[in-house]
C-alpha cells in the first residue's frame, strides 16, 4: 500500500520528465498518507450510514406497530371512559334521589356518595391517560412520517440522479457501460474496451467523451461524493516499470486518469476520490476470457449526501 501511494505521488512528475527533490517528495507523501486516512474515515462513516439506513427500516416498522398498539389502547380507553361516564350519571341520579329520601337512608347515601367520588376520581384519571395516549400517538405518527419522508426523498434523489446519468450516456452501448442503483448509491460501470488499451493508463478518445458527458450530468450537484474505482483481472501485467509493478498499480493509475478528466470537465476535486482495487474485487471468477473481460472495468460510485438523515437520527 505504501508503494502504491508513492507511485501516485510521483507519477505525474515522471511523466513530465521532471526530477523531484527528496523534500518535496516527502511532503507529497505525507499529504497523500493524510488523504488516505481521510478516505478510510469517510468510508467508515459511509459504512456506518448504510448500516443505520438498514436499521432505520426496522425502526420504522416497529414505530408503526407501536402506533397501531396506541390506536388500539386509545379505543379501549375511550370505551372505558364512556362506560364510566354512564355509570357516573347513574350514580349521580341515585345520589340526588337519596337526598330526597328519609333519614334512614343517610347511610346508603353516604356510601353512594363515596362511590360516586371514587368513580369521579377514576374518570379524571382515565381522561388524563386518554389525553396522554392521544399525544403520544400524534408524536409517533409525526416521527414515522418524518423518517419515511427523508428516506423517500433520498431514494427519489438517487433515482433522479441515475436517470439523469443514464440519459446522458444513451449513445453508448450497454456492453461498454451500465448504470444501476445498489445500496443507495449510483454505480456507473465502464468496460475496459471503452476506456483503455490493454495495459495502458491513457484513456481512449471515446472513453474521454463518455466521462465528459458523465461529468456534465453531475458537475452541478454539490451534495454527492464520487469514488472512482479501477479494477483488473488476475493476469499479471506484461510490461513492468519503476512505477508500474502489478495490477494494483495499473488500477490506481487508471482511476487517477479518469479522475483528472472528471475534474477538468467541471466536477469539484473535493468531491472525487480515485482508488485502485486491482484484481481483488472481481465481478466473476477469472476462469474464462469472458469473465476476465467483465472484471477489467472502472466503476464510478456516486453517493448522495446523508447529512439530513444523520441529523434526524441524532435528534
Predicted pLDDT of residue 12: 53
- CA dist 219 and 133 (Å) reads 49
pTM of the complete model: 0.55
Domain closes at, from 91, 125, 153: 153
Domain closes at, from 153, 174, 203: 153
Q: What are phi and psi of 188, to 5 degrees?
A: -105, 110
Given a cut of 80, whether residue 8 has pLDDT beyond it is no
Q: Which of 106-120, 176-190, 243-257, 280-294 has the lowest mean pLDDT?
A: 106-120
**What's the CATH code of the domain at 238?**
3.30.1330.60
Average pLDDT of span 94-118: 77
How many residues are there in the chain?
A: 315
Q: Are 297 and 183 in contact (CB under 8 A)?
A: no
Q: Are residues 186 and 86 in the same domain?
A: no
Between 61 and 222, where is the model more confident? 222
Q: Are residues 168 and 188 in the same domain?
A: yes
Which single residue is written with the C-alpha cell 488516505? Answer: 36
Given a cut of 50, whether residue 40 has pLDDT beyond it is yes
Domain closes at, from 105, 128, 153: 153
Q: Are residues 275 and 200 in the same domain?
A: yes
Q: Are residues 205 and 109 in the same domain?
A: no
Predicted pLDDT of residue 290: 95
Q: Are residues 299 and 212 in the same domain?
A: yes
Average pLDDT of span 177-197: 94
Tell me the per-residue pLDDT of 230-261, one tens digit each, with 9 for 90 and over: 999 999 998 888 889 999 999 999 999 999 99
Q: Please report which confidence band the pLDDT of residue 315 belongs to, taking 50, 70 and 90 as the band edges.
A: low
Predicted pLDDT of residue 14: 46
* Total of domains in the chain: 2
Q: Are residues 123 and 180 in the same domain?
A: no
Predicted pLDDT of residue 4: 47
| Full domain range(s) for residue 201 | 161-314
Which single residue is written with the C-alpha cell 343517610? Answer: 106
Amino acid at each position: 500500500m505504501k508503494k502504491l501511494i508513492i507511485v501516485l505521488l510521483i507519477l505525474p512528475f515522471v511523466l513530465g520528465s521532471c526530477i523531484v527533490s527528496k523534500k518535496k517528495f516527502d511532503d507529497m507523501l505525507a499529504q497523500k498518507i493524510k488523504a488516505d486516512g481521510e478516505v478510510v474515515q469517510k468510508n467508515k462513516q459511509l459504512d456506518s450510514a448504510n448500516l443505520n439506513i438498514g436499521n432505520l427500516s426496522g425502526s420504522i416498522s416497529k414505530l408503526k406497530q407501536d402506533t397501531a398498539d396506541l390506536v388500539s389502547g386509545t379505543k379501549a380507553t375511550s370505551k372505558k371512559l364512556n362506560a364510566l361516564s354512564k355509570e357516573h350519571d347513574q350514580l349521580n341520579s341515585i345520589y340526588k334521589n337519596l337526598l330526597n329520601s328519609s333519614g334512614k337512608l343517610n347511610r346508603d347515601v353516604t356510601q353512594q356518595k363515596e362511590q360516586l367520588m371514587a368513580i369521579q376520581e377514576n374518570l379524571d384519571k382515565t381522561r388524563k391517560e386518554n389525553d396522554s395516549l392521544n399525544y403520544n400517538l400524534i408524536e409517533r405518527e409525526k416521527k414515522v412520517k418524518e423518517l419515511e419522508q427523508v428516506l423517500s426523498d433520498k431514494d427519489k434523489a438517487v433515482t433522479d440522479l441515475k436517470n439523469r446519468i443514464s440519459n446522458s450516456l444513451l449513445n453508448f452501448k450497454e456492453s461498454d457501460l451500465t448504470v444501476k442503483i445498489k445500496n443507495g448509491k449510483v454505480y456507473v460501470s465502464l468496460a475496459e474496451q471503452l476506456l483503455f488499451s490493454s495495459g495502458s493508463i491513457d484513456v481512449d478518445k471515446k472513453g474521454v467523451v463518455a466521462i465528459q458527458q458523465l461529468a456534465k450530468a453531475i458537475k452541478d450537484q454539490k451534495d454527492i461524493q464520487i469514488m472512482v474505482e479501477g479494477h483488473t483481472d488476475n493476469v499479471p501485467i506484461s510490461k513492468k516499470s519503476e512505477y508500474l509493478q502489478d495490477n494494483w498499480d495499473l488500477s490506481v493509475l487508471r482511476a487517477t486518469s479518469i479522475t483528472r478528466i472528471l475534474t477538468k470537465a467541471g466536477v469539484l476535486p473535493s468531491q472525487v476520490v480515485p482508488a485502485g482495487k486491482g484484481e481483488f474485487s472481481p465481478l466473476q471468477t477469472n476462469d474464462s476470457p469472458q469473465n476476465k473481460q467483465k472484471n477489467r472495468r472502472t466503476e464510478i460510485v456516486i453517493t448522495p449526501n446523508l447529512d439530513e438523515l444523520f441529523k434526524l437520527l441524532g435528534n
